[in-house]
Amino acid sequence: MDPASGTVTLPWDRFMMTPKEWDDVVSGLNVALIECVEAAGIASGERPKRVIPDNDSFYGYGVWLMRDAQRYGYVRPESPEKLDALSRAADNAVTQAELDQRARCAQTSDDVLALRADRLNTTGPWVAELDAARDAIRKTSAWQQVVADWGACLTGNGAKPDLGAFAASGVDWEAVERYEVREADVKLAILDVACKDKTDFVQRLGDLDASAQAPIISAYRADLQKSRSDLEAVHARAIAVLRRAGL
């Protein structure tokens, strides 16, 4: 776990694209589509640009950074630019002619084909085994002890644990979905994170998840390294498309 960046990196994550790399690929794909549309003589309603990065904070074990809890409660903080872009996403002036050409480009443009997410091969027998290992580790006494320690801390401080969300019970999740920061939720989040800090909650659960993944990663290391190399080639192509567009 890395509190500075707010991320938790498990063994399998090292063979996948980072959030930054995914942003590059999505940006490159969008640029390649615009180029293909305009090469067909159709003016695009969008301009080539990079996507606005999402918040990379890891919430697999619930909110665990005190700086986020104090400011946002359980709301996943995004930049004002990202929230504005999300609110305007449906307003893009893309014509039907462009949409039709984009569909053709998705089947004919070499750059678009190379960068399409459904063409990226990150699957294999290890996926099902990792999923099974994740489910199995959550049933162990070691996992349950970590959760119990955190729950006991919350209970001792007048709150109850929401085990399904790794949160304190009583959060207004509808408000959270609306990006609405409520004072009551902030108080719960602060208590929740304080208990996670006190019980070393995220590190202990992360270590358990890592231990469950380790033998599977070892068994499929060659395949995973090949998959990672393929992803790196896709990322390099995305960077080339972006540079060609001056981005």
pLDDT digits (tens, 9 = 90+) for 166-199: 999 999 999 999 889 999 999 999 999 999 999 9
Q: Cα separation of 186 and 180, whole Å?
A: 11
Residue among 155, 161, 149 at smallest CA distance from 198: 149
Nearest to 19 by CA among 70, 68, 56: 56
Distance separating alpha carbons of residues 149 and 170, to the nearest angstrom: 19
Helix or strand or coil: residue 197? Answer: helix
| Nearest-angstrom CA–CA distance, 157 and 159 | 6
Locate 58 and state its tokens.
């890891």
- Going by C-alpha positions, the residue among 35, 93, 11 that lies closest to residue 244 is 35
For the chain, the straight-line distance linking the first and the last C-alpha, in angstroms and rounded, comes to 31
pLDDT at 45: 86
Convert the pLDDT of each residue in 200-223 to its tens digit: 999 999 999 999 999 999 999 999
> What is the Cα–Cα distance from 87 to 85, expressed in whole angstroms?
5
Helix (H) or strand (E) holding 224: helix 221-244
